[in-house]
Amino acid sequence: MPSVSTPDALDPSAVRGDFPILDQQVHGHPLAYLDNAATSQTPTPVLEAIQSYYRNDNANVHRGIHELSRRSTDAYEGARMKVARWIGAEDAGEVVWTRGTTEAINLVASAWGAANLEEGDEILLTDMEHHSNLVPWQLVAARTGARLRYLELDDEGRLRLEDLPGILAGGRVRIGAVGHVSNALGTINPVREIARQLHAAGALLLVDGAQGAPHAPVDVAELGADFYAFSGHKMCGPTGIGVLWGRRELLEAMPPYQGGGEMISEVQRDYSTWAELPHKFEAGTPNIAGAVAMGAAVDYLDGVGPERILVHEQGLVRQALEGLQAMPGVRVFGPRDPEGRAGVVPFTMEGTHPHDIATILDSQGVAIRAGHHCAQLVMKRYGVSATARASFYLYNTADDVDRLLDGLESVREIFG
Amino acid sequence: MIDRSTPPLKSLYQQLILDHYRKPRNRGELDDRTVEVLMRNPTCGDEITLQLKVEDERIADVKFLGDGCSISQASVSMMTTLLKGESLDKAHKLATRFTKMMHGDEEAARDPDLGNLRSLAGVAKFPVRIKCALLGFDALQEAMKKTRGEEEDAEG
Ligand SMILES: Cc1ncc(COP(=O)(O)O)c(C=O)c1O
């Protein structure tokens, strides 16, 4: 477990030793990994959990009488309880394992949407959603005849909440699908208030928590979410595993998403009956090692202290914003106040394309992302085709931010 | 510790490339175009619209519109300067040579026919940027395919 120097502030140098991947040279420079919004790195306890699972306990779940099957089932279900606790859910039966956020949202859009949406109904989205929280709704809208409505953004990358009552006044919105934190802007959205208004209008709220769950304690009940989706690989876990949490009565009323083994109770020639929650939504052999590792990731983050992660990131954001704002020709996107944003800093430099920025930084060992970040509506809103994006996590240091800022100076030398 | 050798950044960002990026040649709309192709790199959003006026198997004129990184935009700008007045066969040959150069073929990189495009040889050492450099030529190949397809349709 990581040790920390003071009870309140997170000391990144104390946790870095847990992430072997960070200790390497890239193009002759120490790696500064600033692409955490895309995926986070994996600490040793999580790597060991994967290995230990395959070395000692590997067997299919819920179907064997033998000892290994008992162990793998215990590990798999134990991990479910851990991630349930991570988001404040009391009932682990409400936690469905998925491949990630994308599959979790597709599950709701397909299964809930097919059963509940009809022509003329409306789905509320926002202009800052990741394509994962847009395209599944476009697909279900095309199938059901439902209409998509959009909450727009202000100049600082915040939702124009003042438009929400007008959209809801029509009385046709059945569900809203809103990101907890924007991966393209860093904005932390007022989910509670959106939930309150949607519920008052008789609609549900799905929260895309891909960028929310990794950075601060989440309490789904307190947020007022009806569904909450997130991914293991953005919170120190492996790829290929994620979670859909949903309120029990909603999940119970929904038809299955996929059919297969594991999700049935009884199968006849003409019909089947479904297994209890959450298994009804887990057709086929699941990603058992992934689930176990995501449980280990939650344990790890719990040990670090989840309430300290976002605070640490915001300190780095403040440092980055100060540095960027002092550079001529640099435009930063998202809320100006670091308190209103998570550890995501998107920017552009006049006269230099974000790709070129990313290539030059990469040659100095600084890994950032450049592109549309799967949020083309955000790019369109701010009149750019791409941005450069630095994003932070618990192991990033002030030195990483300095390396970023120094790298940008050399970008200016080349393109200046 | 894993070490990867430093890629030669200087060889990537040559003055000639930056010059074409800042002052693209043949940028604009070609009113009497015979063919137009929009090419996109969906992973990064780079975009090029290439417009050709093809007459008697020759590229009588060429212009492009685009939005993207220095490599994609400089590459298409340089490409257009070489294409004007050339036969479709020659254009096809250039595209093939350039693609070879991007995949590290040193002999192709010495081909004088490639002209200024040879300044992009360094891109071959940056695998994730090769697609950027090829975007304009991808549009060219598509435009020629379209032109030839239409001719065949007309003849057939
Ligand atoms: C806000 C947001 N939503 C959804 C996703 C999709 O997550 P995944 O690719 O893990 O399914 C991401 C990941 O980039 C994201 O940042």
pLDDT tens-digit map of B49-103: 999 999 999 999 999 999 999 999 999 999 999 999 999 999 999 999 999 999 9
- What are the residues of chain A with a beta carbon less than 8 Å away from any beta carbon of chain B? 23-28, 351-356, 359-360, 363, 370-372, 376, 379, 385-386, 414-415
Is A2 a member of any domain? no
A286 plus A400 within the same structural domain: no
In a shared domain, residues A210 and A190: yes
Of the residues A302, A317, A352, the one at which a domain ends: A302
A392 φ, ψ to 5°? -110, 160
* Cβ within 8 Å, pair B1-A25: yes
* The pLDDT of residue B102: 96
**φ, ψ for residue A338 (rounded to 5)?**
-55, -25
d(CA A213, CA A191): 13
Ligand 1: which atom is nearest the Cα of residue A101?
11
What is the number of structural domains in chain A?
Answer: 2
Check if B70 contacts A (Cβ < 8 Å).
yes
Q: Is residue A37 assigned to a domain?
A: no
Check residue A39 and give its pLDDT. 98
Q: Which of A302, A317, A351 represents a domain boundary (last residue)?
A: A302
Q: Which residue type is seen at A174?
A: R
Is A285 within 8 Å of A60 (Cβ atoms)?
A: yes
| CB of B132 less than 8 A from some CB of A | yes
**Domain holding A388: CATH number?**
3.90.1150.10
CATH number, domain at A226?
A: 3.40.640.10
| Residue A3 in domain | no
- pLDDT band of residue B149 (cuts 50, 70, 90) is confident
The shortest C-alpha distance from B87 to chain A (Å) reads 33
Structural domain that includes position A22: 12-30+305-415
**Same domain, residue pair A91 and A196:** yes
Contact A398, A316 (CB under 8 A): yes
Give the burial class of B11: count Cβ atoms within 10 A of its Cβ; 0-12 exposed, 13-18 middle, 19 or more buried: middle
> Given pLDDT bands bounded at 50, 70 and 90, which one contains residue B42?
confident
- pTM, two decimal places: 0.94
pLDDT at res. A285: 96
Both A255 and A315 in one domain: the answer is: no
Dihedral pair phi/psi, residue A151, rounded to 5°: -85, 130
Q: Is the CB of A231 under 6 A from ligand 1?
A: yes
pLDDT mean values, one per 10 residues, chain A (416 residues): 59 96 97 98 98 97 90 98 97 98 98 97 98 98 98 98 98 98 98 98 98 96 98 98 98 96 91 94 97 98 95 97 97 93 97 96 97 95 96 98 97 92
Residue A118 and residue A26 share a domain = no
Residue nearest to atom 14 of ligand 1 (CA): A38
| A277 assigned to some structural domain | yes
Domain ranges of chain B: 26-151
Residue A35 lies in a domain: no
Residue A272 and residue A288: Cα distance in Å, rounded? Answer: 25
Q: Which residues of B touch A28 (CB under 8 A)?
A: 3-6
Mutate to test the pocket of ligand 1, among A35, A36, A125, A130 (most ligand atoms within 8 A of CB): A130
Mutual orientation of helices B70-83 and B88-102 as an angle, nearest 10°?
150
Q: Are residues A345 and A295 in the same domain?
A: no
Q: Which two tokens stand for residue A21?
A: 């991947």
So what's the pLDDT on residue B155? 64
Mean pLDDT of chain B: 92
Single out the catalytic residue among A81, A374, A384, A405.
A374
Q: Is the CB of A210 under 6 A from ligand 1?
A: yes
Q: Do the domain assignments include residue A38?
A: no
Q: Are residues A81 and A23 in the same domain?
A: no
Residue A400 lies in a domain: yes
Does A255 lie in the same domain as A110?
yes
Confidence of residue B142 (pLDDT cuts 50, 70, 90): very high
Q: What is the pLDDT of residue A351?
A: 94
Atom number, ligand 1, closest to the C-alpha of residue A233: 10
Instruction: Say yes or no: A280 and A365 in one domain.
Output: no
CATH number, span B26-151: 3.90.1010.10
Mean pLDDT of the B108-122 span: 96
One domain for residues A312 and A265: no
Tell me: do A147 and A252 sit in the same domain.
yes
Residue numbers in A near B124 (CB within 8 A): none
Chosen for mutation from A31, A353, A363 (greatest number of chain B CBs closer than 10 Å) is A353
Of A27, A360, A386, the CB nearest to B44: A386
Residue with more model confidence, B9 or A242: A242
Indicate which of A355, A379, A382, A385 best probes the interface with B, i.e. most B CBs within 10 Å of its own CB.
Answer: A355
Q: Residue A229: which H helix or E strand, with range?
A: strand A227-231
Would residue A40 count as lying in a domain? no
Angle, helix A354-362 to helix A398-415, in steps of 10 degrees: 120
Centre a 10 Å sphere on the Cβ of residue A106 and count the other Cβ atoms it contains. 22
Verify whether residue A236 is a known catalytic residue.
no
Last residue in a domain, options A251, A278, A302: A302
Same domain, A235 and A354: no
Would the CB of A126 count as within 6 Å of ligand 1? no
> How far does B119 lie from chain A, in Å, by closest CA?
16
pLDDT of residue B1: 39
